Amino acid sequence: MKILKTYPDRCIGCLVCEAVCSETYFQKPDAAKSAIRILEDDTGAADYRILVCQQLGDCIAVCPAMAIRRLKSGVVTINKKKCVGCYACVGFCPIQAMFTHPDEIVPFKCIACGKCAEQCPTEALEIVEVE
Amino acid sequence: MNRAELKVLAEFDYELGQVEKGYTGRTLYVNVSDNTIESRPVTPEMKEIFVGGKGFGLWRLWHGVTSDTKWNDPENEIVISSGPLGGTTTYPGSGKSLVVSISPTTHSVMDSNVGGHFGPLLKFAGWDAIELQGKAQNDVIVYVDGMQGKVFIYEAPEGTADTHELAERMVELFADSEAEKVGISSVTAGSGAEHALIGCLNFSLYDERRQGIRVKQAGRGGIGTVFRDKKIKALVVKYLGVKGNSNHPADKSRIDRVGIKMHKEIHDNDPVQCRMRHRGTSYLVQIMSDYDLLPTHNFKYGGHPEARRINGDVWEARFRQGLPDGCWYGCTLSCSHTVEGYTVRTGPYKGRVVRVDGPEYETIAGVGSNCGIFDPETILEINFYCDTYGLDTISFGTLTAFVMECYEAGILDQEKTGGLDLRFGNGDAAIELLHQIARGEGFGRIAGQGIRRMKQIFVEEYGADPQFLQDIGMEAKGLEYSEYVSKESLAQQGGYGLANKGPQHDEAWLIFMDMVNNQLPTFADKAEALHYFPMWRTWFGLCGLCKLPWNDIIPEDNALTEEPAKVPEHVQNYVEYFVGVTGRQDVKRGEDLVRMSEAVYNFQRVFNLRLGFGTRQHDAIPYRSMGPVTAEEYESRAERYDQQLRELVGFDPTGKSTAEKLAALREYRQAQYERLMDAVYERRGWTANGVPTLETLRRLRIDFPEVVAVVQQHL
Ligand code: SF4
Ligand code: SF4
């Protein structure tokens, strides 16, 4: 299946990915609306930590509205029409990669489109196929 | 049959409108006697003082009935209301409906808190509450179409009233497509509610994954019996399009913040705390048995070695795992599990393969251990039939345990039971009794009246000793006890005895605080707890909430807080949540929430007074709930009781007979209960006779002339 693979040691914290992601899906660059987040790494392993959905799919079973499913490509997506906005998927994501924003009643997540990877100046992001 | 073929008895059009800050601003009135349907405004005063849910229900009921109204008079009402927070999807436990009516077993006000989708969908369909009054000639269906803005009263089609068939049928009848099924919820009772006084209501939800309905029960106090007495076969609502902001909250981000925090807390802590997501409330069985609190053999004992055969591990293995088993969207505590593919082995549905909703703790303890039944299959059979017949599993369990003790004590025999060998542990006899209750036949016709009436019949017709029956009949105010042994916790005796509707634990559950952790050593402490907790728990019922996400999941550091029993962090969540929905400026702390409940709680107390109850004498409880009634009970825990006689009573048990020791313990415990009542009444601002004072009414702003008039008769 398709996922966005991250290489945090290459990340320079330029935040281009956040801008591209929010621009693509919410028509304006706004880090709070990005499905990928660059955070400071407090473990000391690298300067930054890249938080983005790895298509684990734990959210599928917790959704009470059957609004989340895995596409053939392996990507996990939310059907906005079916979503009842409970945010169970947000609280139950084991890596906290499902996001919300006050303007939106449906949560959002990375769908591995790869737009950010194309723009990343250090190739810290890459779309790959995994088992 | 399809919907077009139904005969329309009445039709009513309304503007769909909009929910604002948790309220639609109107309630729906339906009279099935004369087929009147009307919209009634919700006043600012109602919102401020009665909040919603049970508060709205009581307020409407108060105006619908008189002091003489009996449960089966046409003017009795059934009012169903969720509450301002009801229908929120973001915070766990937010889809409850509150039902009120005058009860056939207590003859006073009854309330019941139930899951399922009805209450929230009703609100989104445009109504804060529905008020059902009158009595139809023939069976009717009341249908609220929240997509078209129409209400119909239909003549009900032929066919069974039993829920597992009828509720599925309502989905087929009112959903115009597969996709519409999730938008349908019904309220139904069953054939048993037509013949017994312990009828319950089933609230449905359509489960897309299971492709069928699940049902939750408004069990207590016979409201299902009232429903069928009104000849209402089903109440149905349709609404599609539930969203995260359907309540149009004042400030959604405040709700989101605490809601997501709760989901995460449940995700992290539930696996190591109660495991509700895997086993629901069945986790309680083993704990209760270990602490001598699991009712066994009609509350004689508090546990049994066989309890492990019906404990949480057993049910975890039976429940279908891995589904979001909330009773409303977004309840990640998800305790509403089912056993799938159960093959019915007796009665009219013998051989059918069905879904059993539950069993929950109360059912397992009531129809299981309390009746000496430790067989999961029997518990499932009874669970299924109680639900589909529309009978309350708690009342059925407690009354069957009573009957079994009467049988073993020789008050009943096979001649009187029509051949039923109702010994403790005889599951087949219990199942047969259930079928007879549902049909209103044989001994079941008597048993289905509930314990209070049985006591009278056994005394009058079988010459039983009234004192003994009074001692062992586990009812108060006419309602059967729910399933906890309160003997060693005086505070819980009060929690049961002083509860407005009768002995149900939803007002107060203080056993661990009182008995296990000894946090309530003085009468003042107990009175404070019996003030705070009933008020606090009442608040859930005003808002359309479930109590379980308050304290069946707790923050990791809860034990380090000043008052862990209150779960302070969660109380603060609820403040945020309430203000986030309603935007009310006068709410800042937990105490502000408690004050709302206090008004409604006292109003309900006065409502009891108005109907001829609600004074000190009505808060009396059977001695079985206070201490050992029989010699075998005493001797089973002789060491404990002997020690108490010595240390607390100042009575030396050496060389005394069991009868003497029983008498001494009894005198002491009964006096303690009287002192407890004194202390609690005082704390609540009531007279020594249990009547709210005028000052209390004024302070709570419920000093309406008609309320004051009722109270004045008792001052
Ligand atoms: S927020 Fe939407 S997608 Fe997420 S679990 Fe709830 S209904 Fe499903
Ligand atoms: S905790 Fe259980 S009963 Fe309460 S709302 Fe959630 S699923 Fe329903």
Q: How close does chain A come to B255, measured CA to CA in Å?
A: 11
The ligand that comes nearest to the alpha carbon of residue B113 is 2
Nearest CA in chain A to B252: A102
Cβ(B280) – ligand 2 distance below 6 Å: no
**Residue B298, phi-psi category: left (phi > 0), alpha (psi -120 to 50), beta (remainder):** left
Cβ(A76) – ligand 1 distance below 6 Å: no
Nearest CA in chain B to A105: B244
- Determine the residue of B333, B360, B362, B551 to mutate for testing ligand 2's pocket, defined as the one with the most ligand atoms within 8 A of the Cβ atom: B333
Helices B568-582 and B523-543 cross at an angle (nearest 10°) of 30
Ligand 1 atom closest to the Cα of residue A98 is: 4
Cβ–Cβ < 8 Å for B187, B79: no
Cβ–Cβ < 8 Å for B88, B581: yes
Tally Cβ neighbours within 10 Å of residue B559: 8
Quick check: B256 and A87 CB within 8 A?
Answer: yes
- Domain range holding A25? 2-129
Quick check: A63 and B329 CB within 8 A?
Answer: no
Dihedral through CA B619, CA B625, CA B630, CA B635, nearest 10? -150
Residues of chain B found within 8 Å of residue A100, distances taken between Cβ atoms: 256, 260
Q: What's the rounded Cα separation, in Å, for the pair B68 and B54?
A: 22
Q: What's the rounded Cα separation, in Å, for the pair A84 and B182?
A: 12
- Record the tokens describing residue B7, joined without a space: 């005969």
| Burial class, B252, CB count within 10 angstroms (exposed 0-12 / middle 13-18 / buried 19+) | buried
DSSP A25-52: HHSS--GGG-SEEEEE-TTSSSSEEEEE
* Nearest of B390, B87, B139 to residue B248 by alpha carbon: B87
Cβ–Cβ < 8 Å for B632, B306: no
* Nearest of B613, B630, B299 to residue B474 by alpha carbon: B299
Report the greatest alpha carbon distance in chain A.
Answer: 42
Query: Residues B529, B532, B537, CA angle at the centre, nearest 5°?
Result: 115
pLDDT of A43 reads 83
Polymer length of chain A: 131
Quick check: A102 and B252 CB within 8 A?
Answer: yes
3-class secondary structure, B659: helix
Residues of chain A found within 8 Å of residue B253, distances taken between Cβ atoms: 102
Half-sphere exposure for B131 (CA within 13 Å, toward CB): 26
How many domains does chain A fold into? 1
Q: How close does chain B come to A78, measured CA to CA in Å?
A: 14
Nearest CA in chain B to A100: B256
Q: How close does chain B come to A9, measured CA to CA in Å?
A: 29
CATH topology of domain B493-712: 1.10.599
CATH number at residue A72: 3.30.70.20
pLDDT of A107 reads 98
Q: List all residues of chain A from 59 to 78 with a beta carbon under 8 Å from chain B.
A: 61-66
A81 in B contact zone (CB under 8 Å): no
Residues of chain A found within 8 Å of residue B120, distances taken between Cβ atoms: none
Nearest CA in chain B to A59: B324
Cβ–Cβ < 8 Å for B597, B457: no
Q: How close does chain A come to B323, measured CA to CA in Å?
A: 6
pLDDT of B2 reads 86
Q: What's the rounded Cα separation, in Å, for the pair B235 and B598?
A: 31
Q: What's the rounded Cα separation, in Å, for the pair A70 and A77?
A: 6
Owner of token pair 């409604």: B600
Residue boundaries of the structural domains of chain B: 3-238, 252-480, 493-712
DSSP B137-171: SS-EEEEEETTTTEEEEEEPPSS---HHHHHHHHH
The ligand that comes nearest to the alpha carbon of residue B276 is 2
Each residue's pLDDT tens digit, A29-53 = 999 999 999 999 888 878 999 999 9
Cβ(A86) – ligand 1 distance below 6 Å: yes
Q: What's the rounded Cα separation, in Å, for the pair B597 and B37?
A: 30
Quick check: B90 and A66 CB within 8 A?
Answer: no
pLDDT of A45 reads 79
Whole-structure pTM value: 0.97
pLDDT of B17 reads 86
Owner of token pair 């999730």: B182
3-class secondary structure, A86: coil
Cβ(A87) – ligand 1 distance below 6 Å: yes
User: Ligand 1 mean position to A64 CA, how many Å?
Assistant: 7
The ligand that comes nearest to the alpha carbon of residue B274 is 2
Cβ–Cβ < 8 Å for B164, B386: no
CATH number for the domain running over B252-480:
1.10.569.10
Tally Cβ neighbours within 10 Å of residue B52: 29
pLDDT of B683 reads 97
pLDDT of B502 reads 97
Q: Looking at the structure, give the CATH architecture of the domain made up of residues B3-238.
A: 4-Layer Sandwich (3.60)
Ligand 2 atom closest to the Cα of residue B334 is: 7
pLDDT of B208 reads 97
A87 in B contact zone (CB under 8 Å): yes
Whether residue A9 has pLDDT greater than 80? yes
pLDDT of B507 reads 87
Quick check: A87 and B244 CB within 8 A?
Answer: yes
Quick check: A86 and B260 CB within 8 A?
Answer: no
Each residue's pLDDT tens digit, B353-398 = 999 999 999 999 999 999 999 999 999 999 999 999 999 999 999 9
User: Ligand 2 mean position to B24 CA, how many Å?
Assistant: 24
φ/ψ of B182, rounded to 5, equals: -65, -15
Query: Residue B532 to residues B50, B432, B515, B680: CA-CA distances in angstroms?
Result: 18, 43, 18, 11
Q: Which of A62, A85, A92 sits opposite B244 (nearest CB)?
A: A85
Spans in chain B with pLDDT lower than 50 = none
Cβ(A65) – ligand 1 distance below 6 Å: yes
Cβ–Cβ < 8 Å for B399, B480: yes
**Interface of chain B against chain A, CB under 8 Å?**
89-90, 182, 208-209, 242-245, 252-253, 256, 259-267, 322-324, 326, 329-332
